Structures are given as C-alpha cells and as structure tokens.
Amino acid sequence: MAAIIPILDFENPALDVYARLSENQLVCRENPEEGLFIAESAL
C-alpha cells in the first residue's frame, strides 16, 4: 500500500525532485549511475 504524505509546505526543498528540477537536471551527466529518473502513475 502506498504511503500518503500530506504536503504542508510547498517550498520544502524535499519537493525539488518532483516540482522544480527538469529531467536533464535529474540525470547526472558526469555520473550517470547516480542519475535519478522519476516515473508517475495513477494509484
């Protein structure tokens, strides 16, 4: 079962990977093994 976490502060830096970084910023070009890719789907 998915954990639902309420978002109370939309400026929280923990949300950067979901809201403020582009896919290119998430993929680390110098160290691709450390890159991050996020895929979303309906629950």
* Domain range list for the chain: 1-43
pLDDT in tens, 16-30: 877 877 777 777 767
Whether 8 shows a pLDDT value over 80: the answer reads: yes
Instruction: Label residue 32 by pLDDT band (50, 70, 90).
Output: low
The Cα–Cα gap between 38 and 18 comes to 8
Residue type, 28: C
Greater model confidence, 36 or 15: 15
Mean pLDDT for the chain?
A: 78
The residues, any chain, with a CB within 8 Å of residue 23's CB and separated by 6 or more, are 37
- Mapping DSSP onto H, E and C, the string for the chain reads CCCCCCCCCCCCHHHHHHHCCCHHHHCCCCCHHHCCCCCCCCC
pTM, 2 dp? 0.42
